[in-house]
Amino acid sequence: MEYTYNINLVAISVATAWISCLICFEYLRNGRLVGGSITLGSGIWCMHFLGMLAMRTPVPCGYDIKLTLLSYGMTIVGIHLGLKVALRSENTRRMYYAALLMGSALSAMQFLGMASLKMTPPILYHFGLIARSLAITFSVAYAVLWIFTRLDQLHKLNSILSLVIVSLLMSIAISGMQYSAMAAAQFTTDATCEAGAFSMSAQSLTTLVGGGSMLLLVYSVLIFLTQPDTKIWIILLLIFTGEVSFMAILEHSGLLVQLGVGGSVIDGLVVVGLALPALRKCKNTTCALNFERQQLQTLINTLPDLVWLKDINGVYLNCNQRFERFFGAKTADILGKTDYDFVEQDLADSFKANDEAVIRQGCALVNEERITFAEDGHSELLETTKAPVFDQQGKMVGVLGVGHDVTKLRQDAELLKQREQQLRAIIDHAPIGIWMTNDEGRYCFVNKTFCDAVGITESQFLAAEQLNDLLGEEVARNCIQSDIECMAQDTPHISCETLSFANGEPHILEITKVNLCAATGKTRGIIGIASDITERLKNQENLKLAGKVFNHAREGIIVTDIKGVIIEVNDAFTRITGYSREEALGQNARILQSGRQSPVFYKDLWQALATHQYWEGEIWNRRKSGEVYVEWLTISAVCNARNEIQHFVGLFSDITAMKDLQQQLQHIAHYDALTHLPNRVLLAERLQQALIHSQRHHSMVAIAFLDLDGFKAINDLHGHDVGDRVLITIAERLKSALRDGDTLARIGGDEFVAVITSMEKLANIELVLQRLVSAAAEYLNLDNRVLQVTASIGVTLFPQDGVDAEQLIRHADQAMYIAKQVGKNRYHLFDVQHDAAIQAQRENLQEIQLGLERDEFILYYQPQINMKSGEIVGAEALIRWQHPSRGLLAPGFFLPTIESHPLSMELGEWVIDTALAQLAQWHAAGLTISVSVNISAYELQQAEFVTHVSTILGKHSGINPKFLELEVLETSAIEDMADVSVTMKRCRELGVRFALDDFGTGYSSLTYLKRLPVDLLKIDQSFIRDMLDDPDDLAIVTGVIGLATAFRRHVIAEGVETIAHGTQLLSMGCDLAQGYGIARPMPGGQIPDWAASWCANEAWVTDS
């Protein structure tokens, strides 16, 4: 179906879009987003339906009301959202989002409007044209938003014409979007309109759209009439456009067919002509008001203060340019908004509270507010004055605020306050008393120093009417007199006064008073300054005394200038150096130099004086006679008030005699008086140096300890004089046998120590040692007597023997004794490894002794049973060590250490005593068994063993001795058959039983077995463990059981781990057993519970 367009309505649709753009510009310029959105949306919607009305079709058209209204609502919402997003910031991404929102709404409006026609068959669309129309729609949306975000630039053109032109271009672009979309619609030739009950005719829609267009026209005329720069032709153009548009719409609707376009134009001009004077008067009044408004705005913009106006709801109505810098926004962006849109909530709350106080009280209020300018981030303290604003009826309509920057004022006030405080602090803490009196003689200021000194507070001074009340009659009289004298002269008045201070001590004050005169010459008051000169007077006396001391001091004193020129000396200087005062003055101190110190020495001396202003030390000088002497010199720098050195004072003493004595004492302290060899003190120093040198250069040091063989006999036979000569001669020979870098020291009697350094090989050391042995053995011819001694030498090597110096000498001493034992006249090297083993043994013994003292040892018990009857017959006590760091240790870790040591006796006694105590607890609990304790060979061999056992049994008198069984190793028992047998018999007399432990591991002599009084043989577990698999072990077990039977001894097997072991033993005639197969060793407290739950194996009981 073909359709055409009514060109008049098309023009009207474009004019409607143009007018809506103009009105929207004005709305947005005043910050009214909602009004602008509704205006622009309504205009575009009217433009759309005017375009549809302009479309001429062969069939009458109707429009669905619901879709029509829906398209109107979507247009308003989409344009509002698009403008809101776009105007929030000029971010490119936001612009795209905004254009997408607005373009989608406009597209939906267009196609909903087409859908409201309700054509049958439905309207067909050309998809290529649809795509083109959508692209145009989104492009136009982006262009419209881009223009609206740059309203500031448009207003800078300062011309309504610019807005008219821009809005006309926008309306053309929007119309192009509209008609490109309508061009995509295609109607079939047989199409009919089927609008239902909820529809309107084309005439109704024409009336609706026409009315909306005229409303926009009237509003635009009113807006532009209020603009001072609006040209009358623009208003005429708008009215003419409206008149023509309205008449064309009425003509299209059929309501005014008789009227032509020409008549409409004439009527429009007549209306304008009639209304023009009134409009011109209104425009002139508006221009005058706007001019005054611009003058007022210019005035407040030039103010240096912040000025703003809010309504009673806190919404900004106006502000000046300085206020814009506070918010960082233009006035147009501030108007219509509140503080909460620009500052943080806390600050906005405080602004609001101040505003509400003004509104509540109805009067101006002043307060201070700290603000930060958003423009550059700087902070200011404002003194804000906020006053209520009333309309002509006296109703409060807002709050006017003026903020004056008082930051500098407050800073200056604070600085002035600080300076006043500083000045007061300086005066109060000045070391002198300061006060001021008025012309009546009353105090008006007294500093803290003077108040503290005299013990009178400032308030007391200020309140006093007479000085007699404060300072006493005499002092007050003197002060008044000095005030009178001060006022009578122009120069400062100086006097002295003795005043008692708060501590009760009298102080002499030098008081200076100055007369304060006004411009008229009249006295305004007096300023007084009191200096305590008590110490100064004392110092003057001290200086007189110091002068006497200077002249009569025993030490020489010399005073020079900074160049060393002598300006004063005392009498002692003349006595020590030989130079008179007249000869010394004017000379440089270099006349005393001896030449013994190098230039570097004097350079360091002067450097110390320059840095520390002090130097002391020994120095060699020369007397006038040429004699060189040593003195102890102390030089101090004397500085002025600027700490600049002015003089040097030297104090010196002749210490030549003392140095000679010191050298003698030094020799006595480090050398042997007889041989002049180094003594122990010097030996220790040189040995330490040798060890350090060895570590640094990776060389060996040999420490040789020499003891003379046969010297005692010579000393006893020939006397001490001959002995001393022998020592001197031997010392010289030994020293000649060493190298220059080695040390030979005499440490007492006939003992010497040689330190042989820087040796690379042991062979080289042995050559030196051999020379020492040969030198000592040479014959001595003293007073026709031929004498001979030899040397036994012990040697240790460092770093092989890596101990300290003192320990090295002890090791060499130990090696020397071995050399004597093996024949003398030789040397012997110290065995480091053997000594380390001895040291480890010693440390282990100490640790075991400490463990015994701390009760770290405990006993475990392994039950012994009769396999045949299932009866528990006893338990073997097994010692353990609960080591604090290594945990629970078995006997093998510590018993070998104390073997053959007295500590084993002490530990054994503890085991017996502890086992008997545990046995008593078992018996008290109803468990009547015996306990067996292992004892060492060393214990059996001690004569007091029986006595100790008897004593322990006496402590546990409630225990029958027969329940104690002592186990003795077979190898221990047969080492000393006779003594062991006697000891065992004496113990048996006490009631104690014996068992032969580990039987079969020793010689197992039948004779020994016959002679030892033992009750029980214990078969070693090494035979029991493998007897099921090893015929030899089985034969040994069989033999031991046979021997026990033959000698009527009981037998018990150790190491029974399985039922098969027990069964085999029972078959061989051995009923007693112990081992892991029965029970593991356990603490004594667990034995009763184990015994209560113990049940013999059925195989053993059945077999028996």
Whole-number average pLDDT of the chain:
81
Name every residue whose Cβ is closer than 8 Å to that of residue 614 and which is 6 or more positions away in sequence. Answer: 608, 634, 635, 636, 637
In this structure, the answer to whether residues 113 and 29 fall within a common structural domain is yes
Q: What is the pLDDT of residues 12-42, one digit of tens each?
A: 777 777 777 777 777 776 667 777 777 777 7
The position carrying tokens 């209560």 is 1092
With CA atoms as reference, report the closest residue to 497 among 521, 478, 484. Answer: 478
Q: Tell me the C-alpha distance between 552 and 29, whole Å.
A: 104
Q: What is the pLDDT of residue 233?
A: 42
In this structure, the answer to whether residues 358 and 443 fall within a common structural domain is no
Name the least confident of 180-184, 308-312, 572-576, 644-648.
180-184
User: What DSSP state is assigned to residue 116?
Assistant: T
Model confidence at 508, in pLDDT bands (50, 70, 90)?
A: confident
Tell me if 460 is assigned to some domain. Answer: yes
Q: Which residues of 434-464 are buried (b: 16+ CB within 10 A; e: fewer)?
A: bbbbeeebebebbbbbbbebbebebeebeeb
Tell me if 961 is assigned to some domain. Answer: yes
In this structure, the answer to whether residues 232 and 168 fall within a common structural domain is yes
Model confidence at 573, in pLDDT bands (50, 70, 90)?
A: very high
C-alpha 381, offset from chain centre: 38
In this structure, the answer to whether residues 977 and 1095 fall within a common structural domain is yes
Tell me if 337 is assigned to some domain. Answer: yes
Last residue of a domain, one of 350, 375, 405: 405
Which residue type does 349 have? Answer: D
Tell me if 290 is assigned to some domain. Answer: no
User: How many helices (H) and strands (E) in the chain?
Assistant: 41, 40
Judge whether residue 188 has pLDDT over 70.
no
Model confidence at 725, in pLDDT bands (50, 70, 90)?
A: very high
Which residue type does 679 have? Answer: N
Q: What is the pLDDT of residues 897-936, one digit of tens each?
A: 888 788 889 999 999 999 999 999 999 999 999 999 999 8
Residue 92 belongs to domain spanning: 4-281
In this structure, the answer to whether residues 693 and 819 fall within a common structural domain is yes
Strand partners, 508: 498
Q: What is the pLDDT of residue 761?
A: 86
Token digits of residue 716: 């006893």
Which segments of 943-1020 does DSSP mark as H helices, in order?
945-955, 970-975, 977-989, 1006-1011
Tell me if 1053 is assigned to some domain. Answer: yes
Last residue of a domain, one of 225, 249, 281: 281
Judge whether residue 151 has pLDDT over 60.
no
CATH number at residue 865: 3.20.20.450
Higher pLDDT, 288 or 725: 725
Q: What percent of the chain has pLDDT over 70?
A: 81
Phi (first) and psi of residue 158, to 5 degrees:
55, 45
Last residue of a domain, one of 830, 853, 875: 830
Q: What is the pLDDT of residues 104-130, one digit of tens each?
A: 877 777 777 777 776 666 776 667 777
C-alpha 445, offset from chain centre: 51
Q: What is the pLDDT of residues 772-783, one digit of tens each?
A: 999 999 999 988
Name the least confident of 1-5, 405-409, 889-893.
1-5
Tell me if 469 is assigned to some domain. Answer: yes
Model confidence at 211, in pLDDT bands (50, 70, 90)?
A: low
In this structure, the answer to whether residues 811 and 705 fall within a common structural domain is yes
Model confidence at 726, in pLDDT bands (50, 70, 90)?
A: very high
In this structure, the answer to whether residues 927 and 1060 fall within a common structural domain is yes
Tell me if 533 is assigned to some domain. Answer: yes
Higher pLDDT, 805 or 291: 805
Q: What is the pLDDT of residue 974?
A: 54
Strand partners, 308: 319, 401
Q: Long-range contact list for 728-735, CB < 8 A, 24+ apart?
A: 728/674, 728/675, 729/780, 729/782, 730/775, 730/776, 730/780, 730/789, 731/675, 731/677, 733/775, 733/776, 733/778, 734/706, 734/772, 734/775, 734/776, 734/791, 735/677
Higher pLDDT, 444 or 60: 444
In this structure, the answer to whether residues 381 and 421 fall within a common structural domain is no
Longest pairwise C-alpha distance within the chain: 181
Q: Sheet harboring 700-709: ordered strands across? A: 743-748, 751-759, 700-709, 790-798, 826-829
In this structure, the answer to whether residues 104 and 162 fall within a common structural domain is yes
Mean pLDDT, residues 78-88: 77
In this structure, the answer to whether residues 400 and 420 fall within a common structural domain is no
Q: What is the domain count for the chain?
A: 6
With CA atoms as reference, report the closest residue to 1018 among 1037, 1031, 1035. Answer: 1037
Judge whether residue 1002 has pLDDT over 60.
no
In this structure, the answer to whether residues 221 and 310 fall within a common structural domain is no
Token digits of residue 21: 């753009």
Tell me if 899 is assigned to some domain. Answer: yes
In this structure, the answer to whether residues 493 and 521 fall within a common structural domain is yes
CATH number at residue 521: 3.30.450.20
* The model's pTM: 0.36
Q: Tell me the C-alpha distance between 1071 and 1049, whole Å.
A: 13
